[in-house]
Structure 1
Amino acid sequence: MESSQYLENIKSRLISSSAIAAFTIVEELDFGDHGYLRARVTLSNDDFLEIAEYFKITDNVVTTTRYRYQWMDCDRSTLRKRWDNVPHFPDLPNFPHHIHIEAEENVVSGYVLSIQELLDILEQEIEI
């Protein structure tokens, strides 16, 4: 798989996901064996989501290397959740992966998460 195919897969999933009402691609980078996607998303419950994922592809396996997915209320004033792997909580299990839940200071251990996996979570969490 090349990064162009992976990027198309993500965009197709954004179009077909029951959790997504609309989205705008902010930036898309395709370097063959690695890439980046950033988008702003309106969820089906009118909440706001900003997604950013750097990835690499080795032997047809996609690996998410850096990510930040921020889910806010519809006014963009209240954090619902943010998943990221910025290395600023070294004492958490699964460092650097963590989740901010409803507040910047409320942080729990997380795990590597791709945009595709995030959409699976959102489809479960948002009542449609």
Structure 2
Amino acid sequence: MIESYLDGILLELLLSPVVSTFKTLKREVGEEDGYVRIRCTLSNGNILEFAEYLLIHKNKIYIETYSFHWQTAGEELIKRWDNVEHHKEIDTFPYHIHLADGKVISSAPVNLKKVLIDIEKTMPVNDESE
């Protein structure tokens, strides 16, 4: 079950118009949990590095913890989505976003698909059919 979920992540990356390349840094699969860490180079040279820790409960996969860190090629933060249990002042605790200016704002829970959609909205995508 976890293996299928992780394969779905790889497919999502392969199909994304903003992901140029990616490398799996760590992939662990157990019977009841799993972990993945992947580093992506985006089409404009930015980097997206993310990690998810997954649990199976009642035959369903839950993302227990996550971090999606989007930065420039020069290693400057653009945005980071995570659910680390800090920033208790945020009304969506533990879900939040770190912005480039240092602010931390509320966020609904996210997954790779939602993060890629957000990135696609802000990055121009080359249309190869032209």
Same fold (TM over 0.5): yes
- Once the two structures are TM-superposed, the CA of residue 19 in structure 1 deviates from its matched residue by 1.3
In the TM superposition, residue 117 of structure 1 has moved relative to its aligned partner by 2.2
Structure-2 change in CA distance of 1:69 and 1:87 (3 Å): same
- List gaps (5 residues or longer) in structure 2: 126-130
Higher RCO (CA-CA < 8 Å; seq separation 6+): 1
* Corresponding residue number in structure 2 for 1:89: 87
- Is the counterpart of residue 108 in structure 1 residue 120 in structure 2? no
What is the identity percentage for the equivalent residue pairs of Structure 1 and Structure 2?
32
Q: Distance in 1 between matches of 2:32 and 2:77?
A: 33
Aligned length: 125
Unaligned runs of 5+ residues in structure 1 are none
**1:50-98: CA deviation from partner (whole Å, max 9, x where unpaired):** 111112233453321101111111111x110011111110011110111
Q: Is the radius of gyration larger for structure 1 or structure 2? A: 2
Instruction: Say if 2:83 is the partner of 1:117.
Output: no
Runs of 4+ in 1 over 6 A off after TM superposition: none
State the alpha-carbon separation in 2 of the partners of residues 32 and 10 from structure 1. 18
State TM-score, norm by structure 1. 0.89
Structure 1 equivalent of residue 38 of structure 2: 39
- d(CA) in 1 for partners of 2:113, 2:27: 16
1:62 aligns with 2:44: no
